[in-house]
Copies of this chain bind each other. A is one copy, B any other.
């Protein structure tokens, strides 16, 4: 009987609600496959700031590091928006990613047949979209140095950051992306701005070098401005996209909105070894927090990614994925994905319905 230690980071806003539902689903799916979980809940984000004065307490990071996988709810809220940089919930998240060394962020965006109407795109454009953004998560302009404030040679005040990639950073994310594409449709599109930026020219050069290891995957390149257009024009053309941290931030959010149901979308962040970090892509939604209105499906599907990518427990993962589809088939919808003729339910009830189908 396998047993795993899972760190739960409920965080802020709707985080605690969706984590509590996802925990129950994990437990049931696990027990049906002979898997046991030991959960440890730790403070993170605004909740940690209020409790300990920092957004990522050392104990939270060390617990996370020692566990087999980390499931995060959501972080942030108006209350901490004006905090100085090192006291922002977001800074805690960046520290967690860096601390766990999870450099590969996998963000699927697919339009489920049951939810095609939720997209703002025309039905014929939205239906069948099924793409994966592989975003580099611990490098680039998010972490590059030098960074800060100062004055230039004319004595003018300036603010600056550095976009920088080293060969090993591009190589390892490229390999993850090629592996991902190989398991999917076999097509990888690398997005950069190599017509302007040296960092992008370097990125492209390394991606092309790594491509030799994957002759079976079809590699294309696209400029980021064009990619932002093509996601609106014809998102179905994409299978797997690989890109840097900041372009991935922008494009994966755009791609998720194209599905129309960001309350449905999970993500996985993986490193070379050590525990992965799994989280819904939606935010902490402070406006509906504590009202039992949140959609827990993104976190439930993140739990499925945790099982599949984090623990290699594919059967339990598939149980959860099928249970979610089945629950949608039975017409249950939270407010964000509700449409006429379906049954409007809250966060808890949605969780109960998924449990019935696991």
Chain A positions within 8 Å of B, measured between CB atoms, are 85, 88, 90, 94, 120-122, 125, 141-142, 144, 147-149, 152, 154, 156-168, 193, 195-203, 205, 224-226, 228-234, 246-247, 249-254, 256-258, 262
Measured between alpha carbons, how far is A323 from B163 in the docked complex, in Å?
46
Q: Is the CB of A161 within 8 A of B233?
A: no
Asked, given contacts A120-B122, A122-B121, A232-B232, whether A198 binds B250 with beta carbons under 8 Å apart, the answer is no
Besides A159-B201, A232-B232, 10 other A-B contacts (C-beta < 8 A): A141-B163, A142-B197, A152-B166, A157-B202, A158-B165, A159-B203, A161-B199, A193-B249, A247-B250, A250-B250
**A144 / chain B contacts, CB cutoff of 8 Å:** 160
Q: Is the CB of B85 within 8 A of A201?
A: yes
Question: Shortest distance in angstroms between A297's beta carbon and chain B's nearest beta carbon?
Answer: 18
Contact residue among B156, B157, B167, B234 (Cβ-Cβ distance under 8 Å from A157): B167
Q: Which residue of B lies closest to A234 (CB)?
A: B120
Asked, given contacts A85-B201, A94-B196, whether A232 binds B158 with beta carbons under 8 Å apart, the answer is no
Measured between alpha carbons, how far is A233 from B252 in the docked complex, in Å?
14
Q: Is the CB of B158 within 8 A of A166?
A: yes
Q: Which residue of B lies closest to A232 (CB)?
A: B257
Question: Shortest distance in angstroms between A9's beta carbon and chain B's nearest beta carbon?
Answer: 18
Q: Which residue of B lies closest to A258 (CB)?
A: B232
**A251 / chain B contacts, CB cutoff of 8 Å:** 228
Question: Shortest distance in angstroms between A84's beta carbon and chain B's nearest beta carbon?
Answer: 10
Q: Which residue of B lies closest to A143 (CB)?
A: B196
Contact residue among B156, B246, B257 (Cβ-Cβ distance under 8 Å from A168): B156
**A159 / chain B contacts, CB cutoff of 8 Å:** 164-165, 198-203, 205
Q: Is the CB of B198 within 8 A of A148?
A: yes
Q: Is the CB of A161 within 8 A of B162?
A: yes
Q: Which residue of B lies closest to A229 (CB)?
A: B257
Measured between alpha carbons, how far is A171 from B53 in the docked complex, in Å?
35
Some 21 contacts from A to B, beta carbons below 8 A apart, are A120-B125, A120-B233, A121-B122, A121-B232, A141-B163, A149-B201, A156-B166, A157-B166, A158-B167, A159-B164, A159-B165, A159-B201, A160-B162, A160-B164, A160-B198, A161-B198, A163-B163, A193-B246, A228-B251, A228-B254, A232-B232
**A197 / chain B contacts, CB cutoff of 8 Å:** 141-142, 147, 161
Q: Which residue of B lies closest to A160 (CB)?
A: B164
**A252 / chain B contacts, CB cutoff of 8 Å:** 225
**A154 / chain B contacts, CB cutoff of 8 Å:** 166
Asked, given contacts A120-B122, A149-B202, A195-B88, whether A253 binds B233 with beta carbons under 8 Å apart, the answer is no
**A247 / chain B contacts, CB cutoff of 8 Å:** 250
Asked, given contacts A122-B122, A159-B198, A165-B158, whether A232 binds B203 with beta carbons under 8 Å apart, the answer is no
Asked, given contacts A85-B201, A196-B142, A253-B229, whether A156 binds B148 with beta carbons under 8 Å apart, the answer is no
Q: Which residue of B lies closest to A228 (CB)?
A: B254
